[in-house]
Amino acid sequence: MSSLPASTPTSNFIRTIIDADLASGRHSSIVTRFPPEPNGYLHVGHAKSICLNFGLALDYQGKCNLRFDDTNPEKESFEYAQSIQDDVRWLGFQWDGDVRWASDYFEQLYAFAVELINKGLAYVDDLTAEEMREYRGTLTRAGKNSPYRDRSVAENLDLFSRMRGGEFADGAKILRAKIDMASSNINMRDPAIYRIRRAHHIRTHDDWCIYPMYDYTHCISDAIEGITHSICTLEFEDHRPLYEWVLDNVSVKCHPRQYEFSRLELHYTITSKRKLLQLVNEKHVGGWDDPRMPTIQGMRRRGYTAAGIREFAKRIGVSRSENSVDMAIMEGAVREDLEALAPRVVAVINPLKVTITNFAGAQAREADFHPNHPELGKRVVPFGRELYIEADDFAEVPPPGWKRLTTGGEIRLRHSYVMRCDEAIKDADGCVIELRCSIDHATLGKNPEGRKVKGVIHFLSCEHALPAEIRLYDRLFTVAAPDADKEVDFCSYLNPDSLKVVQGWVEASVQDAAPETHYQFERLGYFCTDRRDHQAGGKLVFNRTVTLKDSWTKEQS
């Protein structure tokens, strides 16, 4: 199933159901499934579902299938299918056996539809889509029977066969289940189970011109695969009676049960595939894997770790109540994972030049890549006559409590000397462009005598620093629920500062880092080499994954 380290399962209502089923002997083992449609890239909501379905199978030593619901051929592609498989593997899971497809069962699905017709439980309807909507009724008004509802079994079998044979135009006829047009559940008012659609299918090509509907396909696919617990989100709760009805009326040996949990609503994101596609098509983002996107591909490219996402899914839990989650929970889980694994190096994003006036005799010093993980090794921190520091670490007129550099003041250079600023050089506009400083040669690796130096800042030797493109990513939207108001275009809430690209400098130890290598840039945040544009030994490109602390909540309050 996976190579993940063992973890303590978090109790939830689905586990309670499974425990009872195993204890009672209803099931001797469990089989779950993850059934995405290959019509887009997976997002953070899918990540929760992946962790749930695969995680349950892993914890109970069962099986989890990956099954593509490929019943809507116009929107599906192998590109999407491959990306989904990549996402599942990257998150640390492996499905049981081969990838499964709804199209594997097209002949069986057709045969079960014939069975329903023979039982008088399905009929071919000639109503147009508009007429069907009218006949269906509303939440307060019962539907009414189609004038074609009482066709004979023989006529329905003939028409359905001719539908498959391509005799009728798209939309001319549809196969419907015969249930109850007066049902209080609109899903039970003779739902469509097959429609005519001439579209090239990614697997069956042009073999079929009729395709089964999702509600009909899904439950039968579950039954064929022996799924014990069919887990989905709450919007399918009203579809459960139809799930049961189909399985009760076709000759399947297995009768799975459907259980619903609340879908994830993550603040400052959207998870509508249609709206995510709009962001891509209108070029508000650079693609499905843009690091600002809530897609698994985007989160991965930004530098979120698989372990961090799994921990996030564990923390938010599984329930039937509203699951509106602050982005800080996701960022916190990722930050904690990176804290333990990311080597610490130095980068300067907004450089201010420093000239050391008494450089002669100065030495470099060795430093750990991580103070708590000596196994990550050490590197030399070069020291030079000319340095870069962050411009924000200097103030001519410091605010109260300032612990960084100012004219006449001292600070500790990280892994190096105590340094004093003696003079600030300005340009014609009065802007500081260089600092003239001196070091205390007696303070390499030890404190100065007779005085305390409170501040510590990082630096780079200009001679040894490497240029790097640094992409500072922030939240894509300025409000927590950008699509909550249906009267307002969600794009109006796009954060204009969600991406800032700067040319900075990094220490030479990262020169040969492969794509998707994680670092903590000391005092600046966690960063990851870009999996697309970064070139080891060449162009260096770093994406900010997350800041060192949750500064967003404080800024917005």
pLDDT score for 555: 45
Average pLDDT score over residue span 483-507: 96
Question: For residues 252 and 223, is the Cβ–Cβ distance under 8 A?
Answer: yes
In eight-state DSSP terms, residue 398 is P
In eight-state DSSP terms, residue 394 is B
And the tokens for 255? 């009768």
Average pLDDT score over residue span 443-453: 91
Average pLDDT, the chain: 95
Task: Name the band, by pLDDT with cuts 50, 70 and 90, for residue 551.
Answer: low
Average pLDDT score over residue span 160-187: 98
What is the C-alpha to C-alpha distance for residues 536 and 517, in angstroms, rounded to an integer?
10
Q: Residue 230: which residues within 8 A CB-CB, separation 6 or more?
A: 32, 33, 218, 219, 222, 243, 256, 257, 258, 259
What is the C-alpha to C-alpha distance for residues 202 and 67, in angstroms, rounded to an integer?
15
DSSP string, 9-27: PPP-HHHHHHHHHHHHTS-
pLDDT score for 10: 74
Give the CA count within 13 Å in the CB-facing half-sphere of 369.
17
Q: How far is Cα of residue 542 from the mean position of the Cα atoms in its chain?
A: 19
What is the C-alpha to C-alpha distance for residues 29 and 407, in angstroms, rounded to an integer?
71
What is the C-alpha to C-alpha distance for residues 547 and 557, in angstroms, rounded to an integer?
18
DSSP string, 122-188: EEEE---HHHHHHHH--SSS-----TTTT--HHHHHHHHHHHHTT-S-TTS-EEEE-S-TT-SSGGG
pLDDT score for 169: 98
pLDDT score for 398: 93
Q: Is the pLDDT of residue 5 over 80?
A: no
Q: Where are the alpha helices (DSSP H) in 91-193?
A: 106-118, 129-136, 153-164
pLDDT tens digits for 104-123? 999 999 999 999 999 999 99
pLDDT tens digits for 190-232? 999 999 999 999 999 999 999 999 999 999 999 999 999 999 9
Task: Name the band, by pLDDT with cuts 50, 70 and 90, for residue 6.
Answer: low
User: Widest CA span of the chain, in angstroms?
Assistant: 103
Across 17-84, the runs of DSSP E, i.e. the strands, are 31-34, 63-68
Average pLDDT score over residue span 306-314: 97
pLDDT score for 531: 97
- What residue type is 54 in one-letter code? F
Q: Which of 536, 525, 476, 518 is nearest to 307 (CA)?
A: 518
Catalytic residues: 37, 263, 273
pLDDT score for 8: 62
pLDDT score for 554: 47
pLDDT > 70 fraction of the chain, expressed in percent and rounded: 97
pLDDT score for 323: 84
Q: Is the pLDDT of residue 556 over 80?
A: no
Q: Is the pLDDT of residue 159 over 60?
A: yes
Q: Measuring CA to CA, how many Å separate 305 from each of 40, 375, 471? A: 21, 20, 18
Average pLDDT score over residue span 427-455: 93
